[in-house]
Amino acid sequence: MQFTGRRRKLTVHPQNELYGHCLQLYGQPPLENISLSEFETFAVERLKLLKTVENLGVSFVKMSEQYSKKLHAEISGLNFPFRPEVVRECSTGPSEYEKRRKDHISHFILRLAYCQTEDLRRWFIQQEMDLFRHRFTDLLPKYKTEFLHRNNLKYDTVRLYWKRLMLISTFALVQVPFQDALDLVRTRKVFLQGGYAYIPHQDIVTIVLNDFRTRLSKALALTARSLPAVQSDERLQPLLNHLSHAYVGQDYSIQKNIGKVSLEQIDALSAKSFPLCMRQLHKALRDSHHLRHGGRMQYGLFLKGIGLTLEQALQFWRSEFIRGKVDADKFDKAYAYSIRHMFGKEGKRTDYTPYSCMKVILSNPPSQGDYHGCPFRHSDPELLKQKLQSYKLSPSGIIQILDLVKGMHYQLACQKYFELTHNIEDAGFSLNHPNQYFMESQKLLSGGKDIKKEVEMPQKVQENAAANGASVQPQPNTTQAEEEMGDLDSYFLDE
Amino acid sequence: MSTSDYDPACLPDLLPLYYRRLFPFSQYYRWLSYGGVTKNYFLNREFSFTLKDDIYVRYQSFSTQNELEKEMQKMNPYKIDIGAVYSHRPSQHNTVKSGTFQALEKELVFDIDMTDYDDVRSCCSAADICSKCWTLMTIAIRILDRALRDDFGFQHLLWVYSGRRGVHCWVCDEAARKLSVAARSAVAEYLSLVKGGEETVKKVVLSDPIHPFISQSLSVVERYFPQYALVGQDLLSSKESVDKVLSLLPEDILCHSLHDLLNLYQTEKNPLKRWDKLKAVVHHKRATSKKGGQYFEKEIMLQYCYPRLDVNVSKGVNHLLKSPFSVHPKTGRISVPIDLRNLDKFDPFEVPTISLICEELDKPRAGEEEEDDTKDKENETDPGERRKIRDYKRTSLAKYIKMFDQFLDAMARSRKGEMLKKSDLQKEF
């Protein structure tokens, strides 16, 4: 392994072997002491990286050239390790060793922040996997092999011939139980025999990723159990909380406008301030007096997010469904339960959060008879065009939207829709949540009061920081942490 | 006569007899205990019953064979479904802390239903079946059985007639029972080639390279296609049916060959020869086509014959499926195992009905009495028990229960083999 010879630091590295490869599976947690400031910086920078991974993943086809180039730029810009063969003698900037150390430590810090709920875990695993896939695929074959050896990922290699004398491969194939290669099995991209999948070496990344996911999933579950001990550390708790909320910016589960929206306003609001997906759902509900489960969840939670109370929601859905084929009795028996469930008043009593754009775009695609999902993602482009025309959007604007849709930039398309329907040049925010759309729209229409002051999150952090300052002996590190925490928002507000 | 004039109205009278004297409880229990290897496996299994007047009860569970027998004899279910093995006794699921009651294991199952082929069979539709379209089931069983064994390595497959218009497959290997939802769905998708609903005309599209699974499935289809589709289903006999086939060809090839194809229809009356000529015409035009359409004939054959399975049935660990040896209330037929060694001879209309076997119960067969007395002395069974054991044996159900026994014996041998292997590894003697 090549390392830069001379360093500014004179530390001898018995841990050299720890970071002997630029890529790792994060099997061992870091054992050293670090300062609070390094703790924060590392965490924040990795989070930036993961958010970039997420955004690129919706804007571009994963692993395409554009995707890889942009991701690579972000990785090197943030001083995370990448291609080992490019290690140069650098007089400025962190060394390769330092980058690998940061990679290692930052991953484990984020585990602390993202292990607590199912949603957070899923998001974290998804981004880490995409990041890993990119970095692994980027490696030269010899480094790939080295990686496999270092991590004891020995798969049986065989040579195999198809039946009927057709040759599969003269190159070595890797043999794994089919359960470890489901993505390849599902799409018939791999030869199966006797319950084993035979994979060409170049597809080995799929197997490694499966492994990666399983390990990380288990590790997060374990981490969650030891979390209370970590959270009791007053220095870390505010930061960790802020980190986990930062992944959506807000999750809109804390409504400040509870009860401020009346049912009579909804029709008008749907045309003025709802994103297209919710406008579509509202219209479908009014037209057919019914929505299927996917639609009820997506729309129902959105309404909760804009401030509807449980009583209002029950009244809203009930009056609409009764106009359809559902009688009052049936509604109370069948549907009321699920609405209360949404508000956390039944069953597991989880207070469900409204769906983010990511969730709407990526999960539960609509089928025949469904109106949920993201119209920019799930509607036939012709139908989308007609709908936009019926809303009297300008032809040039519609073309811009359709172009963005073609390029798979669904959230940008929705942003464009926002700009066109509100008659402004620039939305001024990066859309990632339907409730954010609503809030921004309302803000705009009510004269553009500075909404930043109303945002709950940073206040909470600042309150905690203040409390910390008061109750804990002032230490140089703590004060520094407080100051930097104030700046944390700026990392996340512009994307 | 197998049907023996089954009348659904008689079910309330026949079911008690069936459950008291014919239903193979001991084999059933033997099956679902899987050798007692896992503790509480039978205890935590969900059953659901459909009772008279369409009353449906879920989360039934039983701790012993005796309990199962008594309950079934008390309730006389019209239909029995088998669900998953859960983390706790299903009958007590309400007492378990919310979120901890979970489906853990279940056989990997497949459900092939004839109604899914309505767009490609001309002899029947909906719930009707006949000997002509039954070939589709034969094809499905051959293709899926081979793939599940050869490609996926499963060994213990139980194919069962559903009682009316389809077949079910229960994959009982331990590895299969432990599969996750994702794995089940991946297996089902691997096995799926016919995609699309009402609006999709062309439901099978092949591209290079052709996966060996597809080639192997094709060789099965090709064997049955001429007799089943060209002759039996009159695939190319009427203008209408020919048009349907032609609609599966690429647009440009169709345009260029329309004249030739029309000509073909008028000049050649033999359906087998029509197919050959059609293939020849299209092959000829393929050279000029931009899109290729190189596998059009394979795609047509697959669309008309390849198994159509419902992925949702196979995906869910907690999905409930009709139990083997359950009665079909509409036809009266028992869901019996299908013998794959004689697959081509299987006739759904020869499957015994509940009325037939109940009738057979009362007819003693010659020489039976003495035979049984000797057997009793050998096995030390008392007359009462003997009578019970003898009961199903004198009916048409006997051979199917024997099949089931052989299936269970094979699994038992497998388990024994596994245990020997394990103890060898641990060097226990």
Closest Cβ opposite residue A182 in set B152, B153, B183: B183
The pLDDT tens digits for B48-58 are 999 998 899 99
Strands (E), A178-270: 191-193, 196-200
Distance from CA of A118 to the nearest CA of B (A): 13
The pLDDT tens digits for A71-105 are 988 888 888 887 765 555 555 678 888 889 999 99
Distance from CA of A194 to the nearest CA of B (A): 4
pLDDT reading at A214 higher than 70: yes
Alpha carbon distance B180, B237 (integer Å) = 46
Run of H or E including A302: helix A293-306
Token representation of residue A360: 């709407």
Most A CBs within 10 A among B190, B216, B311, hence the mutation to make, goes to: B190
Q: How much of chain A exceeds pLDDT 90, in percent?
A: 28
pLDDT of residue B375: 56
Distance from CA of B211 to the nearest CA of A (A): 7
Helix %, strand %, coil % of chain A (to 5): 60, 5, 35
Angle at A420 between CA A259 and CA A424, to 5 degrees: 85
Contacts B99 to A, Cβ<8 Å = 348
DSSP assignment letter at A172: E
Mean pLDDT of the region A53-64: 79
Q: Cβ–Cβ of B151/A193 closer than 8 Å? A: yes
pLDDT of residue B202: 83
Token representation of residue A358: 């990511």
Closest residue, chain B, to A190 (C-alpha) = B211
The pairing of strands A167-177 and B79-86 is: unpaired
Run of H or E including B86: strand B79-86
Give SS3 for B212: helix
DSSP assignment letter at A323: T
pLDDT of residue A174: 75
Token representation of residue B210: 């052709």
pLDDT of residue B171: 98
Q: Does A183 touch chain B (CB under 8 A)?
A: yes
Mean pLDDT of the region B283-304: 78
Q: Among B143, B291, B139, B121, which residue's Cα sits nearest to residue B225?
A: B139
Closest residue, chain B, to A188 (C-alpha) = B190
Q: Does A228 touch chain B (CB under 8 A)?
A: no
Closest residue, chain B, to A161 (C-alpha) = B212
Token representation of residue B170: 């229960």
Give me the residue label for tokens 């359906």. Answer: B271
Contact B154, B175 (CB under 8 A): yes
Q: Does A479 touch chain B (CB under 8 A)?
A: no
Alpha carbon distance A356, A411 (integer Å) = 11
Q: Cβ–Cβ of A348/B98 closer than 8 Å? A: yes
Mean pLDDT of the region A278-297: 93
How far is residue B280 from each of residues B248, B251, B272, measured CA to CA in Å? 16, 17, 13
Q: Cβ–Cβ of A182/B99 closer than 8 Å? A: no
Half-sphere exposure of A328 (CA within 13 A, CB side): 2
Most B CBs within 10 A among A182, A189, A191, A380, hence the mutation to make, goes to: A182
pLDDT of residue B105: 97
Q: What are phi and psi of B88, to 5 degrees?
A: -140, 170
A22 in a known ligand binding site: no
Q: Does A185 touch chain B (CB under 8 A)?
A: yes
Alpha carbon distance B33, B91 (integer Å) = 18
Closest residue, chain A, to B149 (C-alpha) = A194
The pLDDT tens digits for B193-237 are 998 776 678 889 888 788 989 999 999 999 999 999 988 888 888
Q: Cβ–Cβ of A194/B150 closer than 8 Å? A: yes
Q: Does A225 touch chain B (CB under 8 A)?
A: no
A90 in a known ligand binding site: no
Alpha carbon distance A114, A429 (integer Å) = 25
The pLDDT tens digits for A142-193 are 787 778 777 766 555 555 544 443 445 545 667 789 998 898 899 998 889 9
Contacts A195 to B, Cβ<8 Å = 151-154, 175
Closest residue, chain A, to B173 (C-alpha) = A195
Active site residues of B: 46, 111, 113
Q: Band of the pLDDT at A425, cuts 50, 70, 90?
A: confident
Alpha carbon distance A296, A321 (integer Å) = 11
Contacts A191 to B, Cβ<8 Å = 211-212
Please count the other Cβ atoms lying within 10 Å of the Cβ belonging to residue B177: 20
Q: Does B174 touch chain A (CB under 8 A)?
A: no
* Whole-complex ipTM: 0.87
Distance from CA of B189 to the nearest CA of A (A): 5
Least confident of A5-14, A385-394, B322-331: A5-14
Q: Does A194 touch chain B (CB under 8 A)?
A: yes
Total residues belonging to chain B = 429
Q: Among A282, A278, A277, which residue's Cα sits nearest to residue A267?
A: A282
Closest residue, chain B, to A189 (C-alpha) = B211
Q: Cβ–Cβ of A188/B186 closer than 8 Å? A: no
Token representation of residue B73: 């004899």
A·B CB contacts under 8 A: 50
Mean pLDDT of the region B320-326: 97
Mean pLDDT of the region B255-268: 78
Alpha carbon distance B325, A187 (integer Å) = 35
Distance from CA of B230 to the nearest CA of A (A): 28
B49 has which bridge partners? Answer: B57, B80
A115 in a known ligand binding site: no
pLDDT of residue B382: 58
A157 has which bridge partners? Answer: A174
The pLDDT tens digits for B12-39 are 999 999 999 999 999 999 999 999 999 9
Residue with the bigger pLDDT between B381 and A219: it is: A219
* End-to-end Cα distance, chain A: 36
Q: What are phi and psi of A480, to 5 degrees?
A: -60, -40
B56 has which bridge partners? Answer: B50
Alpha carbon distance B279, B274 (integer Å) = 9
Least confident of A254-263, A475-484, B266-275, B409-418: A475-484
Q: Which residues contact A434 (CB under 8 A, 6 or more apart)?
A: A274, A275, A277, A278, A302, A305, A354, A355, A356, A357, A360
Q: Cβ–Cβ of B190/A186 closer than 8 Å? A: yes
Q: Cβ–Cβ of B189/A186 closer than 8 Å? A: yes
Q: How many helices (H) and strands (E) would you count in chain A? A: 22, 4
Closest residue, chain A, to B186 (C-alpha) = A186
Q: Does B214 touch chain A (CB under 8 A)?
A: yes
Residue with the bigger pLDDT between B307 and A412: it is: B307
Distance from CA of B131 to the nearest CA of A (A): 33
Sign of CA dihedral A369, A374, A379, A383: positive
DSSP assignment letter at B364: P
Alpha carbon distance B302, A367 (integer Å) = 25
* End-to-end Cα distance, chain B: 56
Residue with the bigger pLDDT between A180 and A256: it is: A180
Closest Cβ opposite residue A162 in set B175, B189, B212: B212
State CA B163 to chain mean position distance: 10
- pTM listed for this prediction: 0.66
Mean pLDDT of the region B245-258: 80
Most B CBs within 10 A among A122, A162, A163, A179, hence the mutation to make, goes to: A179
pLDDT reading at A456 higher than 50: no
Alpha carbon distance B289, B158 (integer Å) = 46
Q: Which residues contact B219 (CB under 8 A, 6 or more apart)?
A: none
Sign of CA dihedral A411, A412, A416, A418: positive
Token representation of residue B42: 């039978």
Alpha carbon distance A404, A414 (integer Å) = 9
